[in-house]
Amino acid sequence: MPELIVTNFNANFTGVSATAAAVVRRQVDRFDLALAGHPLPGCPAPITRAQAISASRTPPPGRPFTIWHVRRNPEMRTAIYARDVLRMPVRAVFTSAAIRRHSAFPRWLISRMDAVIATTEEAARYVPNVRAVVPHGVDTDRFTPAASRAASWAATGYPGKHGIATIGRIRREKGTDRFVDAMIALLPGHPDLTALVIGRAARADAAFLARLKARIEEAGLSDRILFPGEIAPDALPGLMRALSCVVQLPRYEGYGMAPLEGMASGVPFVATDQGYYRSFASQGRCGIITEAGDAAGALAALLSDPDRHAAMSRAARDAAETRFSIGQEAEGIAAVYEDLWAGR
């Protein structure tokens, strides 16, 4: 009987999936753990939802109950069903990154959790039962700097000598249009630079994507602002270390892992003041916080100053290792588990 069940009921590989996978890879040697739902890269083969419920019918050896670590609404519902309807020895831990008020049903689900872990102090203001604030960390063993950024970029097969990217769902909330505006302003003055929009658009955002591509075509930049779609998790570290900058310009972001993965790869970032980006930036040593309309200018200044870029790259990697490692996140989460099992 596992003492810890980590749920992943979303078939799509999202930012939530990435953070869960990174933590699970650190937890497997510490806990008797089962992953329930869909596979995660580098993690144990998952069991089904029904198998997870069956495995929770009796307490695991040496523990008073099984902990379910959940991160999405359907996962919270299943944990509540196992605990309150089936009366199983289960306790539910939820991780919350949102920095805005949840809608009514998620608020109710979260109120039924035995413990909540907030990823930031701001996120902790919007949820009850917060046991700890534990920022997401990055796997600094998977995301590492390139020995030669130029050679790494050439190996990607994309055109140009240098690359920058924005990463995430293609939609207005994520600021994909802001990135396109910045690239239309920036690229004419940087003929060796290619821009990537990494991610996919949901069906509801298809018209938004079509408008972006039309604007790019009108600007004559269709061969330099590219849409490669989603990148497989195992391929992302190789691409990330090849970039010269990560650019994230969202209108809203709860936390945001892309700049942090870039930092671990020795890649500085330019971003709007959303999520945990200002903390990542370390007062400008690792990244630049800017208004969306000023992003092109900030990028131009950074890319034209090799010494500054090199210094920020080194500082970014150092901050990822010392302040935002996945090991620190895993330890913070483990402390919450141990407190629950001890009845504290």
pTM confidence score: 0.89
List, for the chain, all residue ranges whose pLDDT scores fall below the cut of 50.
none
Q: Is residue 201 part of a domain?
A: yes
Residues 69 and 196 in one domain: no
pLDDT tens by residue, 89-101? 999 999 999 999 9
The pLDDT of residue 190:
97
The whole-number pLDDT of residue 204 equals 96
SS3 content of the chain, % helix, strand, coil (to 5): 45, 15, 40
64/117 same-domain check: yes
**Helices of type H across the chain:** 15-27, 49-55, 73-80, 104-111, 121-124, 149-156, 176-186, 206-218, 236-242, 258-264, 277-281, 295-303, 306-322, 326-341
pLDDT score at 15:
84
3 state SS of 24: helix
The verdict on 98 and 11 lying in the same domain is yes
> 313 and 329: one domain?
no
The confidence score (pLDDT) of residue 276 equals 93
Q: Are residues 279 and 242 in the same domain?
A: yes
- Report pLDDT for 296: 98
Are 162 and 244 found together in one domain? yes
The full length of the chain comes to: 344
Q: Are residues 272 and 260 in the same domain?
A: yes
Q: How many domains does the chain have?
A: 2
CA-to-CA distance for 40 and 186, rounded, in angstroms? 37
Domain that holds residue 45: 4-137+325-341
**CATH at 313:** 3.40.50.2000
What gap in Å lies between CA 158 and CA 62, rounded to an integer?
54
- 289: β partners: 271
